[in-house]
């Protein structure tokens, strides 16, 4: 065992290690607060001055983290939010939780990871543990962290310990949160795995070490690609059932009674969030680098990305049946966020449905208790109608897109002249998208 490894292990065990979390979004902020609440001095670093200012004022920047928890850790001095790179010099452990989107060519954009590593390299002058949590392709941890730092003179297992531990945040989930969600961790060396495990065991109930960063990276992509493909299958079956005039929801309820060999996934208007729409594309890109074409992934992406158009087509059909043209019709979208009871608009299919209906000439309004406004494709801010004042009967068509708990379905179904239900929120009420 190297001296630096033992020093770091001792610091972690005695809570004398300083933790730096780079990126204070849905993943980073809960992680930073969790470490602070366990007694670790924690530095939260983010390049967004607005986010840092809000946090310094005791205001959380994500729904799943209360202001009270942030304020408590600020007041006791265990958490600080900063955009000053120099503060990273005080840390022993660095956890990177920055965005990893796709670029215009649908290739991984690792710009933020690269920038984070460069910041660490400029500021840190002692042995450090670096853990990447941002979702990316197999091999990225070595390419973006290990190799550049080794090339810069850092010695693996002496000055440098590198891990990948994929985030498993599920926004809005009241049952599984940071502490009780099992955490996979891979390292570039045995020493890295041991240190990474020691770190995360301070805040996570169950840590699952795996043999390499590649296994950990692949596991995250496998999890979400599995979900993407199964949702796509159900979306396709919902379209088939609609064509055959069979209720997909009753069919799913029947199939779910089998106690083995069946796992339920529900159809819907499309997929949203950062994970399900994007993670399979990382895997598909990496597969192509290895001269491998994944037909399942490509087909699933095609089906899921086409679902907003299917919803619009159904809306046009329902309006036609009511002897109304979509051009000039008043349409109300219920729900803009990609899933229930959160304010996250990332990749939300509701946005695509909104834009397509507008393009066809409809007068589109929306109601979402979690989304006060959003920017459309023309960069124009669109404001929603308050749930307390919306008059459903004034619209030619109401489309249920997000199954928010605040929506009173009996009231909506009673007042709406025409109702399009993409989430089976109004049981046994026709017309539905998938009925």
The residues carrying an active-site annotation are 275
C-alpha closest to that of 280 among 235, 214, 351, 229: 229
Are 43 and 19 spatial neighbours (Cβ–Cβ below 8 Å)?
A: yes
Listed in sequence order, the DSSP H helices in 92-189 are 111-123, 140-141, 147-151
Strand duo 207-210 + 183-187: pairing: parallel
Are 152 and 130 spatial neighbours (Cβ–Cβ below 8 Å)?
A: no
> How many residues appear in the chain?
435
What phi, psi does 413 have (nearest 5°)? -65, -30
| d(C-alpha 74, C-alpha 91), whole Å | 17
Are 198 and 9 spatial neighbours (Cβ–Cβ below 8 Å)?
A: yes
The tokens describing 195, both together, are: 């240190």
| Strand runs labelled E in 282-386 | 330-334, 363-367, 373-375, 381-383
What phi, psi does 299 have (nearest 5°)? -65, -45
What phi, psi does 29 have (nearest 5°)? -65, -50
Strand duo 381-383 + 373-375: pairing: antiparallel
| d(C-alpha 214, C-alpha 317), whole Å | 48
């Amino acid at each position: 065992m190297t001296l630096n490894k033992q020093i770091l292990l001792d610091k972690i065990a005695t809570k004398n290690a300083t933790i730096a979390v780079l990126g204070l979004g849905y993943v980073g902020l809960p992680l930073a607060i969790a470490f602070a609440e366990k007694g670790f001095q924690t530095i939260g670093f983010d390049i967004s001055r607005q986010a840092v200012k809000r946090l310094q004022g005791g205001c959380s920047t994500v729904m799943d983290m209360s202001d009270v928890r942030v304020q408590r850790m600020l007041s006791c001095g265990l958490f600080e939010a900063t955009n000053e790179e120099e503060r990273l010099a005080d840390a022993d452990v660095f956890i990177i939780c920055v965005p990893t989107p796709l670029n215009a060519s649908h290739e991984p954009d690792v710009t933020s990871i690269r920038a984070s590593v460069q910041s660490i390299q400029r500021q840190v002058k002692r042995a450090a543990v670096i853990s990447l949590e941002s979702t990316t392709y197999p091999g990225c941890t070595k390419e973006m962290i290990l190799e550049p730092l080794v090339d810069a003179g850092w010695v693996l297992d002496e000055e440098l310990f590198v891990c990948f531990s994929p985030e498993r945040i599920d926004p809005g989930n009241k049952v599984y949160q940071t502490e009780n969600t099992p955490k996979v961790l891979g390292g570039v060396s045995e020493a890295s795995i041991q240190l990474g495990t020691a770190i995360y065991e301070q805040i996570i109930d169950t840590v699952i070490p795996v043999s390499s960063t590649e296994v950990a990276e692949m596991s995250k992509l496998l999890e979400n690609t599995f979900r993407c493909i199964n949702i796509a299958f159900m979306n396709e079956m919902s379209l088939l059932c609609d064509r055959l005039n069979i209720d997909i929801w009753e069919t799913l309820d029947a199939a779910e009674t089998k106690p083995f060999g069946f796992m339920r996934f529900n159809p819907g208007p499309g997929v949203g969030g950062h994970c399900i729409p994007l993670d399979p594309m990382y895997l598909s890109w990496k597969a192509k680098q290895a001269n491998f074409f994944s037909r399942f992934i490509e087909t699933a992406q095609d089906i899921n990305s086409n679902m907003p158009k299917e919803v619009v087509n159904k809306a046009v059909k329902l309006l036609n049946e009511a002897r109304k043209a979509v051009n000039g019709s008043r349409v109300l979208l219920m729900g803009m966020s990609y899933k229930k009871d959160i304010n996250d608009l990332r990749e939300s299919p509701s946005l695509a449905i909104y834009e397509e209906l507008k393009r066809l000439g409809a007068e589109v309004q929306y109601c979402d208790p979690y989304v006060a406004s959003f920017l459309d494709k023309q960069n124009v801010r669109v404001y929603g109608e308050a749930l307390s004042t919306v008059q459903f009967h004034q619209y030619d068509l109401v489309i249920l897109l997000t199954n928010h708990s605040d929506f009173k379905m009996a009231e909506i179904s009673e007042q709406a002249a025409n109702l399009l239900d993409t989430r089976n929120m109004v049981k046994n009420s026709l017309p539905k998208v998938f009925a």
